[in-house]
Amino acid sequence: MAVGGDTDSHPNGESNGADRRIRYIPLSYTGPDSNDSALSLVLAIRPEWAEPCSNVEFVRFTDGITNTLLKAVNKKPGLSKDEVDKEAILLRAYGNGTDLIIDRHRETQNHELLMKYGLAPELLARFENGMMYRFIQGTVTQPEDLRKPVIFKAVARRLAQWHAVVPCIPGRTGHSRKNSRVDVGHGSELGDAEFQQALDQVAPGKPPPNVWTVMQKWIFALPTDTEEQRARQAELQTELKRLVSELSQRPGLGQNGLVFAHCDLLSGNVIVLPKSQVANGDKTTETVTFIDYEYATPSPAAFDIANHFAEWGGFDCDFSVLPTRAQRQEFITDYVNAYFSLLPNKPDSVDEAVEVKKLMEEVDHFRGVPGFYWGIWALIQATISEIDFDYASYAETRLGEYWAWRGETSGSREASGKEKPLRERRWAQEG
């Protein structure tokens, strides 16, 4: 997960990212040789930084739990901090084994697509295990910032822009087949074409890739070395089929009920822009932008919003601070207003109150899905990541959210006489 940003006035936002070739540098970043390998990469695109007057430094960001992120700056004598930051570069090195989870080719396409619509910083180059792009000045939010009305309203407006303006580009669901364990319901002898079909057709009628095909890919990639692991994979496969049956065909915004969604809108990926960099904007309100597009994929808008709401509690999963019904309504009201004002083909008339009510209901339907999504992800990360984070515990917490939602919606929790879980109590709270 990354840290960086863009501005509405960034000149790159006006160019068509799909029409330019992104430079490829045949070098790698290596953790044990961090500074030297990073410097080699940076000098490949900024050879002038090798001059004697240069003073190149690297700042490591620690907000994410997937990748390594470094900010490269050249503190040449006489330059102000603002001048240094204007030339800064972000270097993002992919986490170990994450090609099992993330389609890196699609990530580059996402970045270029967002550049075309002025919603991403300039992508400067790709290298063997990462990418470099421009650093844009701004303030990275913390979980508590997401709960401030001035910030969450800005997030709602920016998310509406993504959903209304950026098209969904169909294609195959990218995967790392060699590392997948396709044991559940298919046998282990699927050919490549059958494997691709099993991914792409998990949600009938929904063009791949999409959030459903991503979850299927992740379930195929779960560890299956023990009987317990195989049983869990089979259980999660059953639950995915259940979710697809219940939710994938629900009506929603966008084409085929899908929008171009961020799908990882945690606090570290929300940047508050300096008011001086907001072109033609209202200087009395905040403007935010989003970064880190590796999980972006077509999805129901309700999933993207519910997923963001889950991030109000941060990595600690503090359910006591998740948005109440009143806060969700305030967010969704601003979202709906922005969404329908930004649609390229605006309908003749829109009853925004009706649209708010519908989206409130859809987000409620999807509130348990982010726990399922990130729970599967964390089970895989627990086996491949070299980052110091307790993925196994995180997986159980997130999957616990899903099961709590299931118990609530099915009535089984109430029938058993158990107390309503904190997350569900908070979700039901009015104000």
CA 111 to chain centre: 12
CA distances from 149 to 87, 161, 329, 376 (A): 32, 18, 12, 31
Quote the pLDDT of residue 278.
75
Structural tokens at position 10: 């960034």
Radius of gyration, CA atoms only, the chain:
22
Using DSSP's 3-state secondary structure scheme, residue 67 falls into coil
Burial (0-12, 13-18, 19+ Cβ within 10 Å), 188: exposed
Residue among 338, 139, 162, 169 nearest 262 (CA): 162
Residue with tokens 């470094």: 70
**Number of residues written out for the chain:** 431
Is residue 133 within a helix (H) or strand (E), and if so which, with residue range? Answer: strand 130-134
Quote the pLDDT of residue 142.
97
Q: How far apart, in whole angstroms, are the C-alpha atoms of residue 106 and residue 68?
A: 19
CA angle 209, 200, 164 (to 5 degrees): 25
Residues in a beta bridge with 258: 255
Using DSSP's 3-state secondary structure scheme, residue 72 falls into strand
Give all strands of the β-sheet with 270-272 in edge-to-edge order: 139-140, 270-272, 288-290
Quote the pLDDT of residue 95.
87
Q: Residue 24 is which amino acid?
A: Y
Mean pLDDT, consecutive 10-residue stretches, the chain (431 aa), reads: 34 38 94 94 98 96 78 96 95 90 93 96 96 94 97 98 97 73 57 90 96 96 94 97 98 96 97 83 85 96 98 97 98 98 92 98 98 97 90 97 97 96 97 85
Dihedral angle computed from the Cα positions of residues 94, 100, 101 and 105, in that order, rounded to the nearest 10 degrees = 70
Q: How far apart, in whole angstroms, are the C-alpha atoms of residue 268 and residue 288?
A: 12
- Widest CA span of the chain, in angstroms? 74
Quote the pLDDT of residue 192.
84
